[in-house]
Structure 1
């Protein structure tokens, strides 16, 4: 069980890092710039969210087999990145859309260049959205079973372990881990709310 939990954490962290970085860049590109094919890009971003997981899992498995990539750890990570990146883009883009452009204009009026404005004004304002998107991506990746089951091969993750164990009785340790994860998530939410209130004051 510890091995399965470790695999889920590793996959979740890798998928979170890559999907957050790529998703944030895509969100800025779509949210701040007008270019040919922007509407098509928006459609492609929403497709993974609207596609049933069993369809996405089977499609990615077929792609890996065509490319002669055996199911395992890295195909699972790639599959999770593809799945999570849409949620990151939507979350960060919503935060970008809510920004007041006058703040950036004021920074440029004070002789800040584009990079300084982005680093000192835009990025701190978007940071809560990026953090929320990262937490969402990790929770989706850690909890996923269907896409993982298609692309992991013999690799065992925590959701797969729970599914297999359900036939003969879920061990007590799994309940302890589940409770610990719930209270950890609750703690993160409470700390975030308290920090937000303190910042507003």
Structure 2
């Protein structure tokens, strides 16, 4: 394949992937409510969004759940992955297999499973059940992000640290965790974006009175999408894009400093 054809292929590929996002952002500045016709540039829907308590409350729930779930899931996944690393090979393989099964499990099965579990525990569906389910489904993905980095760590590194007088806690804090930093950050970002994006698990465990952006958009779609959703989606995309840029810049800058 010639260089020109490769460039054309990449251009068409990225155009196909990003065209829906570009259209969404453009129509978030449309003055009219019609989704298929441009009626003029306006910031009306952004201004209206700032006064829509329903959407703002859903956004608050979405972001707070994503942040809390990511913090707890990252902590649990990091400690769990490090702990499993020191198991025997047979036990490591068995636990990694269990972790992969959870990742490959369809979302609908996971959602119904959580719903059944919370029902068995007599927990009222709401904010807490969403948070717990998000923590649980994020952990396997964060483990898969940390594990390759952990396999690159020389086994002698921790032993040398403790031979030089460091306690196990000091070795974990100053040697192992810094070595795994890139994997931990990547896993946390993955978990955060998955929590923001999740609909199926959230929908089955939200209950009445608790809305996230995904469940709110679903309910609004059944009665007609409000153009304010375009503005909200555009803002969320830009925020995640900037977060990704900052993370990559720090990663590249950190490598250059080394």
Of 66, 76, 100, the match for 1:22 = 76
Residues 103-124 of structure 1, C-alpha deviations (whole Å, 9 max, x = no match): 5566556554544333222221
What's the offset of the Cα at 1:36?
A: 6.7
Determine the C-alpha separation between the residues in 1 that align with 2:95 and 2:160. 31
Please name the residue that 1:9 is paired with: 63
Q: Distance in 2 between matches of 1:129 and 1:79?
A: 23
Counting matched residue pairs gives 201
Normalising to structure 2: TM-score of the pair?
Answer: 0.71
Superposed CA RMSD in Å reads: 2.1
Check 1:79–1:38 CA distance in 2 against 1; reply closer, same or farther (3 A cut).
Answer: same
- 8 Å contact kept, 2:66–2:196: yes
Q: Which residue of 2 aligns with 1:161?
A: 216
Residues 39 and 179 of structure 1: CA distance in aligned 2, closer, same or farther (over 3 Å): same
Paired with 2:85 and 2:187, the residues of 1 have a C-alpha distance of 16
Q: Indicate which of 72, 77, 87 corresponds to 2:131.
A: 77
Residue 170 of structure 1 corresponds to 225
How far did residue 100 of structure 1 move? 3.8
Cα distance change of structure 1 residues 115 and 97 upon mapping to structure 2, 3 Å threshold: same
* Residue aligning to 2:248: 193
Larger radius of gyration: 2
What do the CA deviations read for 1:127-179 (whole angstroms, capped 9, x no partner)?
12111111111111111110111111111111011111123332232222222
TM-score, length-scaled by structure 1: 0.89
SS of aligned partner of 2:143: helix
Q: Which has the higher contact order (CA 8 A, sep 6+)?
A: 1
Q: 1:113 to 1:63 in 2, by over 3 A?
A: closer
Q: Give structure 2 stretches of 5+ with no counterpart.
A: 1-54
Partner of 1:70, secondary structure, is: coil
**1:179 aligned residue (234, 249, 258):** 234
Structure 1 segment 17-166 matched on structure 2, within 5 A = 17-34=71-88, 37-101=91-155, 103-104=157-158, 107=161, 111-154=165-208, 155-166=210-221
Aligned to 2:42: none
